[in-house]
Amino acid sequence: MAAAVLMVGLLAGCGGSGGAADGQSASGKKTLTLWGDWGGDGQEQIQTMVKAFNASQDKIEVKYVLQQDVITKFLTAATNGGTPDIVFWDRWRTSLYAPKNVLHPVDEYVERDGLDRADFYEEALKELTYQDKLYGLPLTVDTRALFYNKKMLDEAGLQPPKTWDDLANVAKTLTKWDGSKLNVAGMSLGDPGLFSMYIRQAGGSVMTEDGKVNVNTEAGKQVLDLWGRMMNEDKVYKVGFEEGLGEGADAFVTGKVAMLYTGPWMLSTYDKYGKDLEYGIVPPVAGPAGDTGGNMGGFGLVIPQGSKNPDEAWEFIKWWTANKDNALLWAKTSQNIPGFRPAVEDPYFSEDERWKPFLEALEYAKVRPTHPGYSVMEENALIPNLELFLQNKQSAEDTLQKAQTDGDRLLQENAVVQ
């Protein structure tokens, strides 16, 4: 998720083949290559950590190489040679690519060096695990929380919502129409990918433990009942509303959206561009029976199976992800929540009110299912049907039935990664 707000560079870095990955630098250090697709500000943030590591010891030198399409190039390199030593890794990819035998398990390193797995967010480790093998360590964790426009709520005499009913009522009150033109949306409902968060708030789940789609249920119906009421009866949002404001215009910053679910990666953006914006943040609201639900995403560092220097790559990964001071440096540099819990306990987080809703939600947030076919199912069965529902082109019953049927077929077809 965080990658969505980091501008990817137009050109991949040179030296993409890994070149001197098994060689030595002029200073005699072993040279390692780190591939990633964070450009712009993100590239500078990664470079800060790379420079700090290189300065911390005299045996290893890491070089960050920006790759615009890092996964495609990584898979090509895994087949043709020139594999990097470390990859900056969107964790949800693990269940897709671990079966291809292109990632190096790190369990032996973890045990050898006595790392305590309880120091990391359990769900983040789960997302880096496939068939009981761990393929990296979590670098960041993130989840959504509810951002709201303080001024709008104060002027309407409203409190931040805590339940679905609160959310619907506040959104309805804050929505402003001028005839057929929506001027202020009370709540952004433009991201059907948040269905998995809402269905957990309804006490359900997108998939069962044994790997079947689980949306055509009472919990799924409750989500679409809520969305349908807010969209079609209360009319708190209009599909495409934010895109219609023009390129570069942020609907929340400009006061066109009163509430939305987004992540900590937007804090610096709102602070930078929302000079007149007063906003508050609360954890995701609870569902009809009081159930909580949140989505966890984030990045990790992994070692490719073809790395010529896996031991040295591990030293870099451990230095960055499993050391409180270094994880905290990363947090302050990138404005991300680190995957290492001891760093999250630092006053930097505990004394800043803005982090609290995210940290609270992270305690119950779940990662996407680690089934190899999940991303295909979500992209090609679940999301398209939810989009038709939000556009009022398909009933709730048909939406859930088709998502279930098409989704199960796609899960079965993609159960084994080729």
pLDDT in tens, the chain (418 residues): 444 434 333 233 333 333 344 466 666 889 999 999 999 989 999 999 999 999 999 999 999 999 988 888 888 888 778 899 999 999 988 988 898 899 999 999 999 999 999 999 999 999 999 999 999 999 999 999 999 999 999 999 999 999 999 999 999 999 999 999 999 999 999 999 999 999 999 999 999 988 899 999 999 999 999 999 999 999 999 999 988 676 667 899 999 999 999 999 899 889 888 888 999 999 999 999 999 999 999 999 999 999 999 999 999 999 999 999 999 999 999 989 999 999 999 999 999 999 999 999 999 999 999 888 898 999 999 999 999 999 999 999 999 999 999 999 999 998 876 5
260 and 221 belong to one structural domain: yes
28 and 46 belong to one structural domain: yes
153 and 212 belong to one structural domain: yes
Q: Are 65 and 29 in contact (CB under 8 A)?
A: no
Is 259 within a domain? yes
306 three-class SS:
coil
Q: Where are the beta strands (DSSP E) in 14-111?
A: 30-36, 60-66, 86-90
Is 320 within a domain? yes
**Residue whose pair of structure tokens reads 């996964």 in the numeric block:** 71
265 and 150 belong to one structural domain: yes
Quote the tokens at residue 358: 């995210």
In sequence order, what DSSP letters do the residues of 12-25 get, joined into one string?
PPS-TT-TTTTSB-
Is 50 within a domain? yes
The answer for residues whose C-beta is within 8 angstroms of residue 1's C-beta and 6 or more apart is 142, 263, 265, 297, 298
Is 193 within a domain? yes
Is 418 within a domain? no
Please state, in angstroms and rounded to a whole number, the distance separating the CA atoms of residues 262 and 264.
7
Best CA proximity match to 10, nearest among 78, 69, 73: 69
Best CA proximity match to 43, nearest among 316, 333, 252: 333
Is 174 within a domain? yes
The CATH number of residue 119's host domain is 3.40.190.10
105 and 242 belong to one structural domain: no
122 and 29 belong to one structural domain: yes
Is 119 within a domain? yes
377 and 238 belong to one structural domain: yes
Quote the tokens at residue 69: 């399409």
Cα of 109 vs its chain's centroid, Å: 26
123 and 225 belong to one structural domain: no
Answer with the one of 320, 344, 362 that is the final residue of a domain. 362
The number of distinct structural domains making up the chain is: 2
Q: What is the pTM of this model?
A: 0.88
Domain that holds residue 138: 2-142+297-362
269 and 307 belong to one structural domain: no
98 and 169 belong to one structural domain: no
Is 313 within a domain? yes
32 and 104 belong to one structural domain: yes
160 and 234 belong to one structural domain: yes
